A and B are shown apart, each in its own frame.
Chain A
Amino acid sequence: MDRRVVITGIGMVTPLGAGKEAFAQALWQGETGIREITAFPTEGLASHLGAEVRAFEPRDFISVKNLRKMDRLSAMTTASVRMALDDAGLRIDPINRDRIGIVMGTAFGNTEHKVLTARVLFTEGPGMVSPIHVPNTVMNAPAGHASIEMGFRGVNTTVNHQAVSAETAIAYGAMEIRRGAADVIFAGGGDILSPFFYETLTRFRAVSPVNGGAEGARPFDRLRNGPVAGEGCGIVCLEAAELARERGAVPYAEVTGWGLASSPTPPTAWPIDPRGFSLALERALTMAGAVPAEIDLIQAAANGGRDLDAMEAAAYERLFGGRANPLITSLKGATGETFASGGIRAAALALSLREGIVPQVVGLNEPLVPLPFVIGASVNQPVRRGLLSGISYGGTYACLVFERRDP
């Protein structure tokens, strides 16, 4: 079997709002979800900003019975899957649910319950560890909870590979549909902020202000000094194209290609050499049967990090330099670095393809190189082919090509 795969629904819980209407509205108006962290104290730390999920009511999406057992990431995931399902107009029945699955990406999982369990273990002893929290300490808890709430019985997998977890999950989900192992896969990713995790990021000097200056996320900007940590979840509904057509669904886009690559990089460092990322880009374009000139928009990975943004920009200069001029945008000035961010970014790219609106890079004033970044305001421009770039510290890359299919 070698089936085509389309995106028929999107759902998200983000610092810009939950649900595609709120998300798109805020995104296109250039709002930012980055503020002083309010969920926990940040005194004594080098950073204080974060992109927290604020407006989200899990009970609007999840049954009370199941919600009681869920951690925050599982609730965000389940709600995003519910929204993507409704957006796709899919109905679950006893027959199709065996062919519907989830491939979830998360970089850190539910850091809240993991740390809580460790704290209890080391301060109160093994006898006090709660069996209620244990299931939520595993990385696959969100996918498990979501499948229980939704009744999906098909493929269920969790990708746990740092900042490309979600992009890889989407590629994996598309592979599963393409080879016929599933008809529908809800794929994407999410991560949450929690006190110990946030402290760890600051101690690793992984977040702004890394080299002094004002704290803030400035993707591709000359004055960038590190990302701002964020949280959220984004899910796309991947579906076999022929099934979507049969039920009259109008896809946002077809997933025409993906490219995965690696390059030797120190485990916690961002890659400096663009060759690994360039390989992933070339592989995705080759699978999509597209040349660089046919790409209209890049949904970039840049988060305001010194090395990441410079490397990514260098790769684009090399691939597109002079011959092609795709618009380049990044969400991370608005949503922060949500680590398994590819689900939210895939949803944003799908929206750009459908609506012909490309959001601006919030926080970008002085581009580090002269590439066509979207600055100052969102632009209205038809987008036929979009590229989703996934790059992680540790040298891992996952890129995807989405192509609009007019009905």
Chain B
Amino acid sequence: MVTGMGTVNALATDTGRFAEALRRGESGIGPISLFDTAEFRTHNGAQVKNFLPRAAIPAEFSLKRMSRSDLFALASTLQALKQARLDPIPEDLHKEMGVVIGGGAGGLLEAEAFFANYLRRGGRSARFSHLAPVCCASTANHLATKFDLWGPKTTLMTACSSGATAIGLGRDLIRTSAARAMIVGGTEPLCRLTFASFNALQAVDPGYCRPFSGNRAGLTLGEAAGILILESLTSALERGTPILGEILGYGVTCDSHHMTAPDIGASGAARAMRAALTDAGLAPEEIDYINAHGTATPLNDLMETRAIKEVFGPRAWKIPVSSTKSMHGHTLGASGALEAVVALLAITEGFIPPTIHHETPDPECDLDYVTTGARPDAPEIVLSNSFAFGGNNTTVIFGRYRGAGGRRG
């Protein structure tokens, strides 16, 4: 069960305003001010704006030795705990509550500043303590320590599917009684190394990303955190907290094809969706909306469209499919978790978020990409795809909670 969620991203720094921005089809993409982009192929990104850590995070929490991505995650977790009525966390839950974070660049932004200094001065005077939060594990460690959690704690790093896989693992840890409640999600900062890497791969659109559009030319990098509170049904009911939705199933597969290019045969992606459907005990007909990976690289969008057609058959053309990356950018390690928040907002707020910047048709990408603005709807079951470097594919399926004691969000 999902009982809380929180986010910091380029569109908003809370879920309420995030839902509004998604509904309005706003773009969070613009010039990056976090670092100098002069020498790069693109100067745009989906940078988090108006985020003041000390304003978002109460004074009782020390912000020492926390990276930008740690701070995104902490702010998002505070929102999620509040919504889940776990602020404060009850005494008896501390031992049985854990955290799984999907990582990305971790504290690389801060490490870069250190490293540039290290190279200039030959290492003699560089302060190595600045590297303390460089590992992705820093986020989960900070959360567990700050909220006094004694349950399972880990960090997954499967590039762009990290956040989605973290949600799946969290679900399994609860299902196997290793925990009663879990903080799960992902966090990702913009940083020069990531920016340089995607520029080197020529995977970025110099302007803005145009998912599924005929003239798409690459992704736009973004930064964000997306955090969910997962809880066993018993625990949620006992505490009498509203249930926002549930994780119905997830599937993880590997292309076994190429490190950075997706398998255009679409087998890995199709198998991930099927594995998630099987895990959820659902038929393809029951999916109401697909939140696509939709990076806007020429290959991904074609591959994903093919995979959806393979899994859903003739019904593929009838299911709304949108890539909200057109608004919040590709947030890599956070994307699966951020888009989980999107999927749950679609369910709780009753709308299908659009794909913006769809400018020209592509004869091979001919599904219903929701290109003319958000659509009022009442999706019950939403499928979310996340595909990654290394050929890692993760699909998570979210559903409205329909059992006794549940309510529409």
Measured CB to CB, the residues of A under 8 A from B are: 69, 97-98, 101-102, 107-109, 114-115, 117-119, 121-123, 125-127, 129-131, 134-135, 137-141, 143-145, 147-148, 150-162, 164, 168, 172, 175, 178-179, 181, 199-200, 203-204, 260-268, 275-276, 279, 283, 394-396, 398
Contact = CB atoms under 8 A, between A and B. Distances in A.
Given A101-B254, A155-B254, A157-B392, A107 B135 contact: yes
B258 interface: yes
A144 B196 contact: no
Nearest to A127: B39
A267 B153 contact: no
Nearest to A121: B196
A137 B123 contact: no
Contacts of B237: none
Given A152-B254, A158-B390, A161-B154, 11 more contacts: A101-B252, A117-B193, A125-B39, A126-B39, A126-B200, A147-B256, A147-B390, A158-B157, A172-B154, A181-B279, A275-B150
Interface stretch (B136-144, B219-227, B283-291, B353-361): B136-144
Given A144-B389, A153-B267, A260 B98 contact: yes
Q: Select the residue from B144, B156, B193, B201 with max chain A CB neighbours within 10 A.
A: B156
A172 B154 CA distance: 10
B94 to A, nearest CB: 10
A122 B119 contact: yes
B390 A140 contact: yes
A102 B390 CA distance: 12
Contact of B150 (A140, A178, A200, A262): A262
Contact of B260 (A123, A125, A135, A139): A135
Contacts of A161: 136-137, 140, 153-155
Contacts of B136: 139, 160-161
Contact of B271 (A98, A123, A199): A98
A147 B141 CA distance: 30
Interface stretch (B126-134, B239-247, B297-305, B364-372): B126-134
11 contacts: A109-B157, A134-B200, A138-B390, A140-B392, A147-B391, A156-B158, A161-B140, A161-B154, A267-B133, A279-B150, A394-B141
Contacts of B119: 119, 122-123
Contact of A117 (B144, B169, B197): B197
A144 B392 contact: yes
B151 interface: yes
Nearest to A149: B256
B259 A135 contact: yes
B200 A143 contact: no
A140 B135 CA distance: 14
Contacts, number: 220
Interface string B65-90: 10000000000000000000000000
B128 A203 contact: yes
A202 to B, nearest CB: 9
A276 B392 CA distance: 32
Given A135-B389, A199-B123, A153 B271 contact: yes
A134 B260 contact: yes
Contacts of B137: 160-162, 394, 396
A56 to B, nearest CB: 22
A335 B194 CA distance: 33
A264 B254 contact: no
Interface of B: 39-40, 65, 95, 98-99, 103, 112, 115-116, 119, 123, 128-129, 131-133, 135-138, 140-142, 144-145, 148-159, 165, 169, 172-173, 175-176, 178, 192-193, 195-197, 199-202, 251-260, 267-268, 271, 275, 279, 388-392
Contact of B138 (A129, A141, A267): A267
A262 B98 contact: yes
A130 B152 CA distance: 38
Contact of A396 (B141, B268, B389): B141
* A98, A101, A153, A179 pick with most chain B CB within 10 angstroms: A153
B176 A153 contact: no
Nearest to B116: A122
Given A162-B137, A262-B153, A129 B253 contact: no
Given A262-B153, A395-B144, A144 B271 contact: no
A134 B148 contact: no
Which of the listed residues B112, B119, B155 has the most CB atoms from chain A within 10 Å of its own CB? B155
A279 B158 CA distance: 28
Contacts of A275: 150
B257 A158 contact: no
A115 B178 CA distance: 37
A358 to B, nearest CB: 29
Nearest to B392: A156
Contacts of A199: 123
Given A118-B115, A135-B389, A283-B178, A155 B252 contact: yes
Contacts of B65: 267
A262 B252 contact: no
Contact of A153 (B155, B156, B255): B255
A148 B260 CA distance: 12
Contacts of A276: 150
B199 A158 contact: no
A200 B128 contact: yes
Contacts of B254: 101-102, 144, 147, 152-156
A144 B132 contact: no
B156 A181 contact: no
Contacts of A97: 256
A137 B150 contact: no
Nearest to B153: A262
Contacts of A118: 112, 115, 193
A107 to B, nearest CB: 7
B177 to A, nearest CB: 9
Contact of B148 (A150, A156, A264): A264
Given A118-B193, A126-B40, A147-B391, A264 B157 contact: no
